[in-house]
Amino acid sequence: MLIKNISKKGMWLKMNKKVIIGILIAILIVIGVVVVYKVIEKSVTNRENFKYTVDNISSTPVDTVNNENLIYEKTISPNENFVSKEEDKVFYTIKIYQNNNEIRVVSSSNSSFSKDISYVIENNNKINWYPDNIRTGRFGKFLENVIDWGISRDRYWGTPLPIWQCECGHKECIGSIEELKNKGINVPKDIELHKPYIDEVHLNCPECGKEMERVKEVIDCWFDSGSMPFAQLHYPFENKELFEQNYPAQFISEAVDQTRGWFYTLLAISTAVFDRNPFENCIVLGHVLDKKGLKMSKSKGNVVDPFEVLASEGADATRWHFYTASAPWLPTRFSTDDVSEAGRKFLSTLWNVYSFYVLYADLDKFNPTEYADFVSDNVMDKWIMSKLNTLVKDVDDKLNSYDITNAALAIEDFTDELSNWYVRRNRARYWSETLTDDKIGAYVTLYRVLTTLVKVSAPFVPFITEEIYQNLVVNLDPKAEESVHLCLWPEVNEKAIDKNLEAEMDLAYKIVKLGRSARNGANIKNRQPLSKMLVSTDSLPVYYGDIIIDELNIKAVEFGADLSTHVNFEIKPNLPVLGRAYGKMIPQIRKEIGARNQMELAQTIQNGGVVTINVDGTEIELNKENLLVTMQGLEGYAFAGEGSIGVVLDTHISDELREEGHVREMISKIQNMRKESGFQVADKIKLYVSDNEMLMDVIKKFDETIKRDTLTEEIIFAANREYTETTINGEKLNMAVEVIK
C-alpha cells in the first residue's frame, strides 16, 4: 500500500507539473515582494543607505500609475527623533505596485534629503567644540534655523558651475574631466577648468542636436572650502587611501564668525557626501580688539599693524600673548605693550635662566654629557625635577584636551619658579671654585630642566626654544636630533615626582612671597635683616625654615604662631548688602561678629568660607560679599596673608641689625660697580672706601663677609684716588673698585 500510494503521488506530481511551477512562481513573487519591502524599509530607516535609496528608486507620481495593483504602502519619518516641531519632520511614503510578474517601488516625500538638517545636527553633536556652548548655542541654533543654501554666484572668479544648457531647455551636469572630454566638442587635452577657457567648451545636445553652452554662474567659494578635505586630494578619483586615513580631521580652528561660514559648509557637505562629521575637535577663536577693548576699525584709527608688532617684539612674544592673554574663544586685546609684557614675563625669564647657566658652565668648561648618569641628592634639585616631570605630564594632558591657555600658563608659572626660586636659591652653588658633587648636581639639574623645558615649550615659541636647543644640545651631542622640533615629546619619569616634596616647597615659597609682601607694606628692603617672623600655619621641616630665614633675611621663624596679638583685625558689615537684608538687626550682627575669634573669622572669610550666626532666631550667613575685612599689623609689626596663611614680621630694628643692613647694601653697591666697570664674574678686586667713619667701622667689622661675597682681595680705607659717591641707607660713602691683574 505504501508503495502504491507513493506511486500515485508521483503520477499526480507528473500530471500537474505546470500547476506546481505556477504555484512556486507565485510564492517566489510574494517572498520577493516582502524582501524588497524589507530592504526598502531598512534603507530608508538606515542612515548609511538612506540617501542612496532615495536617489535610486523610482519617483513616478502615484497618479500616473495605471493597470497596477498597490500591494503595500507605508509612511515613515526618519528624522522624527531629531526634531521637536511637527513641521520640521520629513515623511517618506513607500508604495509597492505589481503588474503581472513585475514589481515597482515608488517613494515620495514632503521634503528632499538636502533639506533634512536633522542629520547635520546629529553630526554636529559628535564634535568637541571649544567652548562647548558653541555646539548647542551659536552654531546649534544656526543649524536649527538654517535655510536653503544657494551655491551659485554671478562672479568671474571662482569654480565654474559644471552645468551646460541648450536653448531647447535640456540641461546636463558634468562630473569629471573625462566625462567632459567624452561629451564635449573639441575639448583641449590640457583643458583649463576656469573662466574664460571653460566657457569655450560646448556640448552636443542629446535632445535636439544643437550646441550646449555652460551657464554663466560660478560656485560659491564656501562650497569649495567645504569640499576641501576631499577636493584637495582629487578624491575619489585618486588618493583614496590617503584621504580615508586622514578623514575626518582631528582638529580645526577659526574665528567665531565661521559658524555661518566654513564650519557650516564643511559639516553640511560632509553630511551630504559621507554622512558624518568632517572634524572631531574645533577651537573657536574670539575677535581681536585694541588695547582699550574696542573693535579695531580704520575710521577709529585704532588698527594695530601686526607686522609692526612682529618687527618690534618678535613672533614668539606675539604668539605667547595670544596663548596666555585669555581663552582662545574670548576677545583678546592686542597692542605692542601687551605683547611686550607677555614677552617680558616668560621669554625674558627663560632667556635669563639660560644665560645664567651658560655663563657659569662656560667658566667651568662644564660638559653635562659627561655626567649623564649623575644623580643629585640635593633637596632643591629633587624638587625642581619633580616639578618638571609634573609640568610635562600636566601640559601633555592639557594639550590633549585642547586647553592651550592653561598649558601655556603652566609653562609660564614653572619658568617663574625656576628663575625666582630654584636659581635664586642655588646661585651660591655655582660660585664654588672647585667642581664638587654639589656643584655638579646644580649644573646637571639645571641643564636637564632647560633642555626638557624647551621641548615642552617648542610648540608655543618655536624660535627661542630652537636657539637654546642648538647651543645646549646640538653643539654638545653629535647624535642629537638636528632641531628641537624633530624631538619626541619628553617622557615623564613618574619616580621623580614627589607630591609631598612639591607641597612642602610650594608652601615655603608661598610664605616667602607673603614675607616679601609684608616687607613691602612696611617699606623695609629685603637687604635689611629682621629679628623674627611669625607664621600661622603648622611647622615645616627644619630645612624649609632655613630657606625662609635665608630668603627673607630674618634671624628666626616661628610656625603655628598666634598672630592675633600682633595684628589688628577690623571686621564689619558691608552695609549696602547686609543693611538691605537685615537693616534693624545690624547692631546685633555687629555684636555677634565682635564676640568671635577675629583671626579665625577673618581667615575664614578671606579664604572664601561662610560663617553662620544666629540673631534672635534668624540664621544669617556671613561671607566675602556681606563683610568687610581688613587686617593690619600693630605698631612695630608688618602683616600679610593669603587664604588660610598669615605672616607677621617683627619690624623693630636694633643697632646690630641696622649694621648688617648697611653691609648688605654695600655688597649690592659693590656688585653693581663691578658690573658697570665691565669686570668678569670671576675677577678679583681691590675695594677703596672713604669719607664716612661710621660706615668704615662697619666695613672693618664685617670685612670677611664683604670680601667673600664680592671677590675682594683687599679693602683700602681713605686712600687718595678717584671715588664714586654712593648712598647706603641714607648715609653717603665714597667707593671705588679695581680689578687685580
**Residue corresponding to grid cell 616667602:** 512
Residue range 296-328, pLDDT digits in tens: 878 788 888 888 888 888 999 999 998 998 887
Bridge partners, residue 262, by sequence: none
Q: What are phi and psi of 518, to 5 degrees?
A: -65, -40
Give the per-residue pLDDT at 86.
Answer: 58
Output the furthest CA–CA distance in the chain (Å, rounded): 152
Please, what is the angle between helix 349-363 and helix 404-417, to 10°? 40
How many other C-beta atoms lie within 10 A of the C-beta of residue 283? 18
Where residue 275 falls (left for φ over 0; alpha for ψ -120 to 50; beta otherwise) is: left
8 A C-beta contact, residue 248 and residue 279:
yes
Nearest to 227 by CA among 181, 185, 278: 278
8 A C-beta contact, residue 79 and residue 116:
yes
Where residue 252 falls (left for φ over 0; alpha for ψ -120 to 50; beta otherwise) is: beta
How many other C-beta atoms lie within 10 A of the C-beta of residue 169? 9
Rounded Cα distance, 449 and 426, in Å: 14
pLDDT at 684 > cutoff 50: yes
Q: Is the peptide bond before 462 cis (omega within 30 degrees of 0)?
A: no
**How large is the average pLDDT for residues 532-539?**
86
Q: How confident is the model at residue 337 (pLDDT cuts 50, 70, 90)?
A: confident
Comparison of pLDDT for 576 and 449, the residue scoring more:
449
pLDDT at 99 > cutoff 80: no
Q: How confident is the model at residue 682 (pLDDT cuts 50, 70, 90)?
A: confident
DSSP string, 32-87: HHHHHHHHHHHHHHSHHHHHHHHHHSB---GGG--S-EEEEEEEE-TTTTT-SSGG
Beta pairing class for 712-717 and 685-690? parallel
Q: Is the peptide bond before 331 cis (omega within 30 degrees of 0)?
A: no
Residue range 3-55, pLDDT digits in tens: 333 333 343 334 455 545 555 555 555 454 444 444 444 434 433 333 323 33
**Which segments of 278-326 are extended strands (E)?**
281-285, 288-289
Comparing 342-346, 469-473, 489-493, the range with the smallest average pLDDT is 342-346
Q: How far is CA 401 from the centre of its chain?
A: 8
The secondary structure element, H or E, covering residue 413 is helix 404-417
Give the per-residue pLDDT at 67.
Answer: 59
Please, how many CA atoms are within 13 Å of residue 464, restricted to the half-sphere of its CB?
A: 26
Give the per-residue pLDDT at 116.
Answer: 65
Nearest to 401 by CA among 250, 287, 263, 248: 250
Type of residue found at 414: F
The 8-class DSSP code of residue 161 comes to P
The set of cell numbers assigned to 300 is 577709529
Q: How confident is the model at residue 75 (pLDDT cuts 50, 70, 90)?
A: low
DSSP string, 661-723: HHHHHHHHHHHHHHHHTT--TT--EEEEEES-HHHHHHHHHTHHHHHHHHTEEEEEES-SS--
Contacts 24+ apart (CB under 8 A), 167-170: 167/210, 168/205, 168/207, 168/208, 168/210, 170/205, 170/206, 170/207, 170/208, 170/212
Q: What are phi and psi of 167, to 5 degrees?
A: -65, -20
Residues 6+ apart with CB under 8 A from 7: none
DSSP string, 505-571: HHHHHHHHHHHHHHHHHHT--TTS-EEEEEESSPPPPHHHHHHHHHHHTEEEEETT--GGGTEEEEE
Residue range 490-524, pLDDT digits in tens: 999 999 999 999 999 999 999 999 999 999 989 99
The set of cell numbers assigned to 235 is 578624491
Q: How confident is the model at residue 176 (pLDDT cuts 50, 70, 90)?
A: confident
pLDDT at 63 > cutoff 70: no
pLDDT at 662 > cutoff 90: yes
Rounded Cα distance, 429 and 64, in Å: 97
How many other C-beta atoms lie within 10 A of the C-beta of residue 684? 15
pLDDT at 187 > cutoff 80: yes
Give the per-residue pLDDT at 79.
Answer: 43
Write down the pTM of the prediction: 0.69
**How large is the average pLDDT for residues 566-575?**
83
Q: How confident is the model at residue 114 (pLDDT cuts 50, 70, 90)?
A: very low
Q: Is the peptide bond before 162 cis (omega within 30 degrees of 0)?
A: no
Please, what is the angle between helix 349-363 and helix 437-457, to 10°? 140
**How large is the average pLDDT for residues 453-474?**
96
pLDDT at 738 > cutoff 70: yes
Residue range 43-56, pLDDT digits in tens: 344 333 333 233 33
Distances (CA, A) of 323 to 163, 328, 638: 47, 7, 38
Rounded Cα distance, 422 and 441, in Å: 13
8 A C-beta contact, residue 75 and residue 93:
yes
Sign of the Cα torsion 202, 206, 210, 213 reads negative
Rounded Cα distance, 104 and 71, in Å: 10
How many other C-beta atoms lie within 10 A of the C-beta of residue 124? 23
The 8-class DSSP code of residue 296 comes to P
Q: How far is CA 542 from the centre of its chain?
A: 39
DSSP string, 75-141: EE-TTTTT-SSGGG---EEEEEEEETTEEEEEEEESS-GGG-THHHHHHHTTSEEESTHHHHTHHHH
Give the per-residue pLDDT at 96.
Answer: 55
Nearest to 453 by CA among 439, 426, 473, 437: 473
Type of residue found at 40: I
Mean pLDDT value across the chain: 82
How many other C-beta atoms lie within 10 A of the C-beta of residue 614? 10
Type of residue found at 393: K
Residue range 118-147, pLDDT digits in tens: 888 888 899 999 888 888 888 888 888 887
pLDDT at 83 > cutoff 80: no
Residue 286, judged by CB atoms within 10 A of its CB (0-12, 13-18, 19+), counts as: middle
Contacts 24+ apart (CB under 8 A), 572-577: 572/627, 572/628, 573/626, 573/627, 573/628, 574/625, 574/626, 574/627, 574/628, 577/625, 577/626
Residues 6+ apart with CB under 8 A from 636: 650, 651, 652
Contacts 24+ apart (CB under 8 A), 21-27: 25/101
pLDDT at 457 > cutoff 90: yes
Residue range 373-399, pLDDT digits in tens: 899 999 999 999 999 999 999 999 999
